[in-house]
Structure 1
Amino acid sequence: MTLRFFPGPVFRRRPGREYCSRRRAEYQDGLRRSALCATFYVQFSAGAGSFPPVASRPAARFQGGTRDMLRRIGIAACIASTCAVMPPRPAAAGELVLLSRSLVQGPARAAVFGAGGLILGTGGGVAVFSGADRLEEPAFLPLDGEPHDLVLRGDILYAASFAGGLVTIDLSDPGRPVETNRREIAQAARCASAGGALFVCGANRALHVFSLENPREPHLRGSRELPHQVVSIPAEDDLLAIVYGRRVEILRADASGSLEPAASIELPADARDAVVRRGVLVVLTAAGEAFAWDIARPESPRPLGALKRRKISGVASGEGGCVLLGASRTIIPFDVERDGAGAARIRVGKAASLPPRVSPAPGTAGTGGSGASRAIERVIVSSGRIAAIAPLDGVDLYARDRAGLHSLDFFPTRGFAIDVATAGGLVYLANGNDGVRIGRLGDAGTVEWLSHLQTKDARGVAISGERLFVADGAGGLKTADVGDPARPRILGVHASPYYLSALVVRGGRAYCAGGLGGAEIVDVSDPRRPRLVWRRAFSEVRGIDADERYLYVADGYEGLRLFALDGPEPRLVSTLDTPGWTCGVAVDGDRAYLADGGRGVVVADLSSPERPRVAGASPTGSVARQVRFDGGYLFVAAFTRGALAFDVSDPALPREAARYQTAGDARGVSIAEDRVLVASGGGGLYVLSHSR
Structure 2
Amino acid sequence: MCQSHSLQRARGTRASSGYAARGGDQRPSLRFMGLIKHRHRYSSLSMNHWSNLLIVGCLFLVIGLTKADRNPVLRGTWPGFRRGPAYAVVAQGHYAYVAVQGSGLVVLDFSDPSEPRRISGLQTGGCASDVALLGSYACVADGEAGLAIINVGDPANLRPAGRYATRGSAAKAVADGTRAYVVEGDAGIEIVDLSDPAHPKRIGAYQSSGYLAGIAVAGNYAYLADFDSGLEILDLSNPAEPERVGGYSTSGSASSVVVAGNYAYVADEGAGLQIIDVSNPVKPRRVGGYDTSGFANNVAVVANLALVTDGSDGLQVIDISNPADPQRLGGYDTRGFALDVFPFGTLALIADQYAGLHVLGREEPAEPRRIGGYQTSGESQGVALVGNLAYVADGVAGLQLIDVIAPANPIRVGGHLTTGEAKGVAVKDQLAVVAEGPDGVEIFDISNPQQPIRKSGLLTEGDCLGVALVGTHACIASGTAGLTVVDLSDPAAPQIVGGIDTSGYVSGVAIQGGYAYGADSAEGLAVFDLADPTEPQWIGSYDTPGFALNLAVSGIHTYAADEGAGLQVIDVSDPTFPIGVGGIDTPGFAVGVTVMSNEVWVADGAAGLHVFDVSDPRNPRRIGSNSDFAMAGVSADTQRVLAAAAANGLMVFDPPVTQIILRPVGFSQAAGFRLSIEGPNGLTVRLQRSDDLFDWADWQTVILGDSPVKVSDTATGDFIRRFYRAVDL
Using the size of structure 1 for normalisation, the TM-score is 0.68
Structure 1: how far apart are the matches of 2:467 and 2:547?
A: 18
Counterpart contact for 2:508–2:518, Cα < 8 Å: yes
Distance 1:353 1:280, change over 3 A: closer
| Contact persistence 2:265–2:299 (CA under 8 A) | no
1:505 deviates by 1.4
Higher helix proportion (structure 1 or 2)? 1
Structure 1 residues 605 and 311: CA distance shift in structure 2, 3 A: closer
**Do the aligned partners of 1:212 and 1:219 also contact (CA within 8 Å) in 2?**
yes
Residue 381 (structure 2) aligned to one of 418, 423, 426: 418
Structure number having the greater strand percentage: 2
Query: What SS is found at the alignment partner of 2:501?
Result: strand
Alignment-derived partner of residue 232 in structure 2:
248
**Residues 223 and 478 from structure 1, CA distance in 2 versus in 1: closer, same or farther, beyond 3 angstroms?**
same
SS in 2 for 1:640: coil
Distance in 1 (alpha carbons) for counterparts of 2:151 and 2:563: 38
- Give the corresponding residue for 1:339: none
Q: Distance in 2 between matches of 1:323 and 1:116?
A: 23
Separation in structure 1 between the aligned mates of residue 507 and residue 596 of structure 2, nearest angstrom = 21
> 1:62 corresponds to which residue?
none
Letter in 2 for 1:558: E
Match of 1:395 in 2: 357
User: Residue 485 of structure 1: CA displacement?
Assistant: 3.1
1:379–1:292 CA distance, 2 compared to 1 (3 A): farther
Selected match of 1:501 from 465, 468, 489 = 465
Q: Deviations over 1:114-157 (max 9, x none)?
A: 45511223453333212343423464445667533222334443
CA contact (8 A) 1:677 1:685 kept: no
Deviation at 1:545, TM superposition (A): 1.3
Task: Find the aligned partners of 1:109 and 1:639 in 2 and give their Cα distance.
Answer: 25
1:202 is aligned with what amino acid?
E
1:473-505 per-position Cα deviation (integer Å, ceiling 9, x unaligned): 344444443223344445566653232210111
Q: Which residue of structure 2 aligns with residue 671 of structure 1?
A: 636
138, 147, 158: which one pairs with 2:128? Answer: 147
1:619 is matched with: 586
Contact 2:272 2:289 in 1 (8 A): no
Q: What amino acid maps onto 1:670 in structure 2?
A: S
Which residue does the alignment assign to 1:191? Answer: 173
CA-to-aligned-CA distance 1:641-681 (integer Å, 9 cap, x gap): 3444455566524326242644xx63233336554444445
Compared with structure 1, are the counterparts of its residues 303 and 691 closer, same or farther at alpha carbon in structure 2 (3 Å cutoff)? same
Residue pair 2:141, 2:173 contacting (<8 A) in 1 also: yes
Per-residue deviation, 1:232: 1.8
TM-fit CA distance, 1:452: 1.7
Change (3 A) 1:553 1:267: closer
Alpha carbons of 1:539 and 1:333: their partners in 2 closer, same or farther (altered >3 Å)?
A: closer
Structure 1 CA distance for aligned equivalents of residues 146 and 126 of structure 2: 9
2:508 is aligned, of 534, 538, 543, to 543
1:243-282 aligned at under 5 Å gives the runs: 243-244=225-226, 245-252=229-236, 258-261=240-243, 263-266=245-248, 271-276=254-259, 282=265
Q: Which deviations, in whole Å up to 9, do the C-alpha atoms of 1:154-191 show, x marking residues without a partner? A: 44433334565544445455445466658476543233
Give the root-mean-square deviation of aligned CA atoms: 4.5
- Give the total of aligned pairs: 566
Deviation at 1:93, TM superposition (A): 3.7
- Which residue, out of 103, 127, 138, partners 1:157? 138
Matched position secondary structure for 1:94: coil
Give the residue type in structure 1 aligned to 2:602.
Answer: V
Matched, 1:580 2:542: no
Aligned partner of 1:387: which letter?
L
* Residue 288 of structure 1 pairs with residue 273 of structure 2: yes
SS at match of 2:186: helix
Matched, 1:602 2:565: no
Question: CA offsets, 1:193-233, max 9 Å, x none?
Answer: 45634443335344445454652464567876422222422
Q: Spell out, residue by residue over 1:10-56, the C-alpha distance to the aligned partner (whole angstroms, 9 max, x if none).
A: xxxxxxxxxxxxxxxxxxxxxxxxxxxxxxxxxxxxxxxxxxxxxxx
Query: What is the CA distance between 1:594 and its match in structure 2?
Result: 1.9
State whether structure 2 residue 363 is matched by structure 1 residue 379.
no
After superposition, the Cα gap between the structure-2 partners of 1:141 and 1:253, relative to the gap in structure 1 and judged at 3 Å, is farther
> What's the counterpart of residue 661 of structure 2?
none
Moved more, 284-293 or 112-121: 284-293
Deviates more, 1:130-139 or 1:485-494: 485-494
CA gap 1:322/1:428 in 2 versus in 1, 3 angstroms? farther
Task: Name the CA shift for 1:316/1:523 in 2 (closer, same or farther; >3 Å).
Answer: closer
Deviations, residues 222-273 of structure 1 (Å, cap 9, x unaligned):
876422222422235765333432442313278xx72342733446766453
Distance 1:203 1:309 in 2: 25
Paired amino acid for 2:173: C
Q: 2 CA distance for matches of 1:491 and 1:467?
A: 9
CA 580–157 in structure 1, closer or farther in 2 if over 3 Å, else same: farther
CA apart distance, 1:352:
7.4
Task: Confirm or deny that 1:110 pairs with 2:75.
Answer: no
State how far apart, in whole Å, the 1-side matches of 2:81 and 2:613 are: 30
Distance 1:629 1:222, change over 3 A: farther
Could you tell me which amino acid in structure 2 is paired with residue 484 of structure 1? Answer: N
Please report how far the alpha carbon of residue 548 of structure 1 lies from its aligned counterpart in structure 2 after TM superposition. 0.9
Residue number among 523, 533, 545 corresponding to 1:558 in the alignment: 523
Assess if the C-alpha contact under 8 Å between 1:96 and 1:691 holds in 2.
Answer: no
Aligned position for 1:38: none
Q: Distance in 2 between matches of 1:452 and 1:499?
A: 21
Gaps of 5+ in 2: 1-67, 657-729
Paired residues of 2:233 and 2:281 also in contact (CA < 8 A) = no
Identity level (%): 22
Q: Does the aligned pair in 1 maintain the 2:486–2:494 contact within 8 Å?
A: no
- How far residue 584 of structure 1 moved from its aligned partner, in angstroms, is 0.8
Report the AA paired with residue 124 of structure 1. Answer: G
TM-score, normalised via structure 2 length: 0.65
For 1:388 and 1:502, the matched residues in 2 are separated by 33
Deviation string 1:557-607 (CA, Å, 9 cap, x unpaired) is 432234566788666565433332110101222333221113333344556
Q: Does the C-alpha gap of structure 1 residues 554 and 276 become closer, same or farther in structure 2, counting only changes over 3 Å? A: same
- Look up the equivalent residue of 1:128 and give its one-letter code: V
Separation (CA, whole Å) in 2 of partners of 1:394 and 1:677 = 25
Unaligned runs of 5+ in 1: 1-89, 295-299, 336-345, 357-370
For residues 251-650 of structure 1, the aligned pairs below 5 Å read 251-252=235-236, 258-261=240-243, 263-266=245-248, 271-276=254-259, 282-283=265-266, 286=271, 288-294=273-279, 301=281, 310=290, 316=299, 324-325=306-307, 331=317, 373=335, 376=338, 378-383=340-345, 385-398=347-360, 407-412=370-375, 416-432=379-395, 435-441=398-404, 443=406, 444-452=408-416, 454-491=418-455, 496-524=460-488, 527=491, 528=493, 530=495, 532-548=497-513, 550-563=515-528, 574-606=540-572, 610=577, 612-621=579-588, 623-630=589-596, 632-646=598-612, 648=614
Task: Check the 8 A contact 2:608/2:625 in 1, yes or no.
Answer: no
Aligned equivalent of 2:77: 99
Question: 1:416-446, CA deviations, whole angstroms, 9 ceiling, x for partnerless residues?
Answer: 5432223233333334466434454463533
Q: 3-state SS of the aligned residue for 1:445?
A: coil
Max radius of gyration: which structure? 2
Q: Which moved more, 1:107-116 or 1:309-318?
A: 309-318
Please give the alpha-carbon distance, in whole angstroms, between the structure 1 residues aligned to 2:574 and 2:626.
Answer: 33
